[in-house]
Amino acid sequence: MTKAVVTVKFFASLREHVGKAESEILASDAQTVSAVWLLSTNNMELPENTLMAVNMEYVDADHPVQQGDEVAFFPPVTGG
């Protein structure tokens, strides 16, 4: 049975800023990506230029979130 949670991941400078790499929140507590941010960071301000993904696809802050989703927050990418 799928747990009614949303997995939250933080990468790079944002992981250090938030102080954790991963957390879980109850899906019923957050309907959008921005709500997931607030819940999982104890209402920290969302840094400018933060990128967001749901299930490994880029989305906007108002994208809906469902149980079982993986939500990720990270700074602008710098590969290559």
Partner 1 sequence: MLIEIKERSFEPYECVLEYQKSAGFSGKYGATSVFVGSMRDFNEGDDVQNMMLEHYPGMTEKYLEKISQEAVAKWDILDSLIIHRVGVMLPNDPIVLVAVWSAHRAAAFDASRYLMEELKSRAPFWKKEALTEGERWVAKNT
Summarize as ranges the residues that interact with partner 1 (CB under 8 A): 9, 11-13, 51, 53, 56, 58, 72, 74-80
CB of 60 to partner 1, least distance (A): 15
Q: Which is nearer to partner 1, 4 or 21 (CB)?
A: 21
CB of 50 to partner 1, least distance (A): 13
Look up residue 73 and give its two tokens. Answer: 């927050």
Q: Which is nearer to partner 1, 2 or 76 (CB)?
A: 76
- Say which residue the tokens 């969302």 belong to: 46
Residue 55 DSSP symbol: T
Question: 52 near 33, Cβ under 8 Å?
Answer: yes
Question: 14 near 74, Cβ under 8 Å?
Answer: yes
